[in-house]
A and B are shown apart, each in its own frame.
Chain A
Amino acid sequence: MVIVNKYINRAFILKHIRGNKIKSWIFIILGGIISTGPPYLWYPLLKELKEKGVHDGEIAAFLYNRSIKPAFFPLMILYFGLQYTITLSFVVIFLSFFQAGIVNFFMSFNSHNS
């Protein structure tokens, strides 16, 4: 949080997340995948990112991509096999776009009506 407060300002976010769509999605997906620890520790940071211009859908996609845990891949492969581990990882990344779309749709729908 301290690092985010110090280094991640609106200009940084606009440059890396709000600028190029492909680049921003890579940022969101990889961020979700490599993020560790309990989700509630990420909420304050995500709130700050939201305040700095990141869409609700992108926040949701970040949280959804947290389902992929590279650190636990060896155990996952041991229990379920390599094919399953790879397949599920790609399915989660694919569905995170849908999650972003759904969340953005409902959030914008609500804000238009309020």
Chain B
Amino acid sequence: MDLKTAARKSAQSLWGMLPILLGMLLLIGLINSFLTPEVYSKIFGHGTFLDSFLGAILGSISSGAPLNSYILGGEFLKNGVGIGVITAFIVSWVSVGVLQFPLEGKILGVKFSLVRNISAFFLSLVAAVITSYLMLI
């Protein structure tokens, strides 16, 4: 494939996903305006298991640079939130994409996206358990 054809094919792909991409970016902006650090801090405090689950849910519905998850996770740690909860939160932040799901489903397939996101959600909890255990020994 020559460079011109490759560039044309890539531009067509990007053009095709543009409407969903724009919709998704608007949705991310809307969600981020509700999920402030204060909201995050008020959510925890129900025991390690439930907090880890909530941390994974919060990470899954949050979006943005992973840097933000580390900063928020660092603040949680300062406020006494457990390392397992923080792990579930920062792993699910990147590996689970609820807001990206429509686009991921359209491009990579709905079944694939569903299986991938659900398994990534539960694996973020597994990561929390393993990391917490390894940090203790």
Contacts and interface: CB of A to CB of B under 8 A. Distances in A.
A98 to B, nearest CB: 6
> Do most interface residues of chain A lie in helix, strand or loop, or is the interface mixed?
helix
A54 B5 CA distance: 23
Contacts of B41: none
* Chain B interface size range: 35 or more
Contacts of A40: 17, 21, 24, 97, 100, 103-104
A4 B130 CA distance: 36
Nearest to B104: A43
Interface string A51-72: 0000010011001101101001
Interface in A50-107: 50, 56, 59-60, 63-64, 66-67, 69, 72, 75-76, 78-80, 83-84, 87-88, 91-92, 94-95, 98-99, 102-103, 106-107
Given A40-B24, A91-B130, A5 B135 contact: no
Contacts, number: 132
B112 A107 contact: yes
Contact of A5 (B1, B73, B97, B103): B1
Contacts of A94: 130
Interface in B51-110: 66-67, 70-71, 73-74, 77, 83, 86-87, 90-91, 94-95, 97, 100, 103-104, 107-108
25 contacts: A2-B7, A39-B104, A40-B21, A40-B97, A40-B100, A40-B104, A44-B13, A60-B115, A60-B116, A64-B123, A67-B91, A72-B67, A75-B70, A78-B74, A79-B73, A79-B74, A79-B77, A80-B73, A84-B131, A88-B87, A95-B127, A99-B119, A99-B123, A102-B119, A107-B115
Given A40-B24, A60-B119, A107-B112, 10 more contacts: A4-B10, A40-B103, A44-B17, A60-B112, A66-B94, A79-B74, A91-B127, A106-B111, A106-B115, A110-B111
Interface of B: 1-3, 5-7, 9-10, 13-14, 17, 21, 24, 66-67, 70-71, 73-74, 77, 83, 86-87, 90-91, 94-95, 97, 100, 103-104, 107-108, 111-112, 115-116, 119-120, 123, 126-127, 130-131, 134-135
